[in-house]
């Protein structure tokens, strides 16, 4: 399972963009998507670190996202086309890390968001505080974040889609708001 948290933007484009960030963040960390003993769940945590989607993408952002998804499929990664009527809950089952890394490298230029920017120390500290807050509010096994990665491996007994987990995540995120990010990123 993969949990898409982060900025609460409206619209499917931003949600699908987070799925793209998930794909890119999984490329170097895909081997960590499954625990050695198979009891972990890969999940996206924190805030996405892609630049904003520009409005002047040739053919529009929708077309660019479809081209990116097709490229990933052409390179062996099962990525659905963006769907404006669906609630995105992408998953990351059994990803071959080498295939993901190769596909990401081959398709990166098609991304309307461009390159991912590095997380600032302040952003990482906020994610660490949120993780500590979640542990203190009923989920003691919640892991610390990994720097410059939107993925986390949750124990199987934590359902990131449950109303209880979402409520705790939202409460903790409100207690520790993200720092302002420079557009120069």
Q: Could you tell me which of 141, 117, 168, 121 has the C-alpha nearest to residue 5?
A: 168
- As a 3-state breakdown, the chain gives helix, strand, coil percent values, each rounded to 5, of 45, 5, 50
Q: Averaged in consecutive runs of 10 residues, what is the pLDDT profile of the chain (185 residues)?
A: 35 44 43 38 41 54 83 87 58 65 83 66 91 95 81 80 90 86 51
For residue 59, what pLDDT is reported?
A: 67
C-beta neighbour count of 14 within 10 angstroms:
17
On the CB side of 156, CA atoms within 13 Å amount to: 6
For residue 138, what pLDDT is reported?
A: 94
The interaxial angle of helices 97-107 and 60-74, nearest 10 deg, is: 140
DSSP symbol at 98: H
For residue 6, what pLDDT is reported?
A: 39
On the CB side of 167, CA atoms within 13 Å amount to: 5
């Amino acid at each position: 399972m993969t949990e898409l948290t982060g900025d609460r933007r409206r619209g499917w484009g931003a949600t699908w963009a987070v799925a793209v960030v998930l794909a890119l963040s999984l490329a170097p960390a895909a081997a960590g998507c499954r625990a050695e003993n198979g009891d972990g769940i890969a999940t996206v945590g924190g805030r996405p670190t892609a630049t904003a989607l520009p409005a002047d993408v040739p053919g529009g952002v929708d077309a660019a996202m479809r081209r990116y998804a097709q490229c990933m499929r052409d390179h062996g990664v099962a990525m659905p086309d963006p769907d404006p009527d669906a609630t995105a809950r992408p998953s990351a089952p059994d990803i071959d890390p080498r295939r993901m890394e190769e596909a990401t490298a081959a398709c990166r230029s098609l991304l309307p968001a461009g390159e991912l920017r590095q997380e600032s120390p302040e952003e990482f500290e906020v994610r660490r505080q949120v993780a500590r807050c979640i542990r203190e509010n009923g989920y003691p096994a919640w892991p610390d974040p990994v720097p410059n990665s939107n993925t986390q491996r949750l124990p199987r007994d934590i359902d990131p889609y449950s109303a209880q987990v979402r409520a705790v995540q939202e409460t903790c995120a409100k207690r520790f708001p993200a720092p302002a990010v420079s557009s120069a990123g």
